[in-house]
Amino acid sequence: MAIELKVPSVGESVTEVQIGEWLKPEGSAVRKDETLVTLESEKATIEFPSPSSGIISKILKPKGAMAAVGEVIALMEAGGVAGATPTAAVAPAPAASVQAPPPLPDKVMPAAARALAQSGVAAAEVSPTGPGGRMLKEDVQRQASAPAVAAALPSAPTPAPATKPLGALPAGREEEVVPMSPLRRTVAKRLVEAQNTMAMLTTFNEVDMSTVMQLRKAQQEAFQARYGVKLGFMSFFVKAIVDALRLVPQLNAEIRGNSIVYRSYQDIGVAVGGGKGLVVPVLRGADRMSFAQVELAINEFARRAKENKIKMDELEGGTFTVSNGGVYGSMLSTPIINPPQSGILGLHAIQDRPMAVDGQVVIRPMMYLALSYDHRIVDGKEAVTFLKRVKEVIENPARMLLEV
């Protein structure tokens, strides 16, 4: 019995997905609940399990294709023997038969195709080395420059050089067109949306990281022994942000129509790098989390982001965002707000700089802070107050405990 494999619903606002890697090709036997293919939505990567045991009879949507929710992407026959991939019987080849050429790679990249046309090298002669069996330009060039191995054979007429296609680019100036992933398209859309719909403004401050660095160094061993995770800087900033949001609730609010929605809780989005790009999972109830809980949650998010296993509901509903560009070496930037939030705090690299302290010039580890905010709901006074509070708490963490 033929079973249609349809794209499942993957989120309230998601209408289409991009087909990822097919883990089971046509003709493969599969077991129930075994992952068949990965589906990439605008928010996360989802594994599509087999609804029953059977054999994949036809793949209708190849890797990279777009498919709507509910659309059939493959067919399978139920009742096949799971656990082994069936293979067709091969008849013995005649004694004098000539060995068949190796199969063509899954995909010939555009630059490689042009190199084939210009060099006259047959695609079957090239051994692809790119990811997923892709043939690269370098593969063709390597084959074209290989020394001849059949000098003893009668010489054949030299073929005429391939005609250069009209409009082809010269060597070294190739272009490759790659479709944007759903995640990248969504990021682009939301960034433009933020720029077009908000009165966005950024204000800056700087913070002396000396005290936090000393406290972190002094307590690192005990903290790690007790909780099994390193004490990082992000937990200090998350706690400082929660403290500052209580002081300036406008930055924890959002505009809905002609109303402002204020919240009594803080769900902080933390930007982390993933396999498909930057994602922003949310620390639910960050106002009730301990330092250890923050560090454990961020570490887990980072691990699963690299494996593209962040769940969609973990990316939704944040009230404020913090992004640490300093881990990549950024010294100063103007972060863009994640709508419908009203603010985002950008952290940057820590650098030793000369500072005037009590009339003396001393070297201190300093970090620039950048707060981007929606000026429709947050005034400059509130923005500066928020940044000053973050600075005060980071430079004197005891204030968080004493609530002063």
Residues acting as catalytic residues: 375, 379
Helix, strand or coil, per DSSP, at residue 288: helix
3-class DSSP state of 399: helix
Asked if 271 and 278 count as a contact pair (C-beta separation under 8 A), the reply is yes
What backbone torsions phi and psi does residue 134 show, to the nearest 5 degrees?
-75, 140
Pairing of strands 134-135, 107-108: parallel
Do 61 and 74 form a contact (C-beta atoms < 8 A)? yes
Yes or no: say if 275 and 214 are a contact pair by the CB < 8 Å rule: no
Dihedral of alpha carbons 213, 216, 219, 224, sign = negative
Provide the greatest CA pair distance for the chain. 95
Sequential DSSP letters for 104-153 = PPSEE-HHHHHHHHHH---GGG----SGGGEEPHHHHHHHHTSPPS-TTS
Which amino acid, one-letter code, is at 242? V
**What CA–CA distance (Å, rounded) separates 320 from 339?**
10
Distance CA(184)–CA(40), nearest Å, equals 11
Residue with tokens 């699963």: 304
* Burial (0-12, 13-18, 19+ Cβ within 10 Å), 57: middle
Contact 367, 353 (CB under 8 A): no
Beta carbons of 166 and 256 less than 8 angstroms apart: no
